[in-house]
Structure 1
Amino acid sequence: MDSRREAIRGVAGCAVAAAGGAAGTLAWAPYGRRGIFGGFEGETEWNVLWLGLPVMTLGGIAAGLTLSALVQRKWRPALGAAVLLAALAGFGAAFDVLDGPPMDCGPKC
């Protein structure tokens, strides 16, 4: 009976991680559309794809794993996933991974 419960928890954890990855990818989509398909004067910013997509997807997975570990009251795995999430957020902020092409601000610039 205990192995069945562990199997259900494992499947639920994988489902939560997959949902987090999908949510991260969906959150990245507006930035990706703006950065890859051109913005100001058709300029393409490939960092949005090469850095932004993995950071957002892995961030969603880490958030899902953190949530799953917290629900199961497993504090050490939750802390590890939260540290990973913080590291990804720091990397994203440091390298401006969602910064698309410069926007046209008109004559006010």
Structure 2
Amino acid sequence: MEKRAESTGVFGCVVAVVGGAVGLAAWLRGSRPGIQGSFEGERDFSLLYVELPLMMFGVPLLTYAMWALARTTLRHRMGRTAWVVASGAVVAATLAGLAWGCSEWLAVRVRDFVHVGDL
């Protein structure tokens, strides 16, 4: 029982770290035109103090919540291996959806800083 609790804690930390990395990567990719001032030198620094914390803390939080929900829901319904695989699939799907959502959000936010031909 103690080994299961230790592995669950390790997996939870891995989920949080990977979620933070995905949030940071989505922010770095999507906010570049607004931070660098691609169009006429204008910049939007609210991308630093609004979107960056949202993506750095929101993505890991939502991913961890979905992982915990899947882990709790599926624990008694399937074997250990299937349970771990299903929880991993939920994490992967959540991260993919959140990365896409963050990218779309940032595309709308930096639309004013990008030339029409660059889209």
For the superposition of Structure 1 and Structure 2, which TM-score range results when normalised by the shorter chain? 0.5 to 0.7
| Structure 1 residues without counterparts, runs of 5 or longer | 75-96
The one-letter amino acid of 2:8's match is R
**Percentage of pairs with the same residue:** 36
Consecutive aligned runs of 4 or more in structure 1 exceeding 2 Å deviation: 103-106
TM-score (norm 1): 0.65
The one-letter amino acid of 1:42's match is G
Post-superposition CA distance 1:60-92 (Å, at most 9, x none): 102221232023116xxxxxxxxxxxxxxxxxx
Evaluate the alpha carbon distance shift between residue 71 and residue 11 of structure 1 in structure 2; reply closer, same or farther with a 3 A threshold.
same
Is 1:37 equivalent to 2:36 in the alignment?
A: yes
Higher helix share: 2
- Which residue number corresponds to residue 27 of structure 1? 26
SS of equivalent to 1:40 = coil
What is the root-mean-square deviation of aligned Cα atoms in Å?
A: 2.5
- Which residue number corresponds to residue 17 of structure 1? 16
- How far does residue 59 in structure 1 lie from its aligned partner after superposition? 2.0
| Structure 2 residues without counterparts, runs of 5 or longer | 74-104
Count of aligned pairs between the two proteins: 85
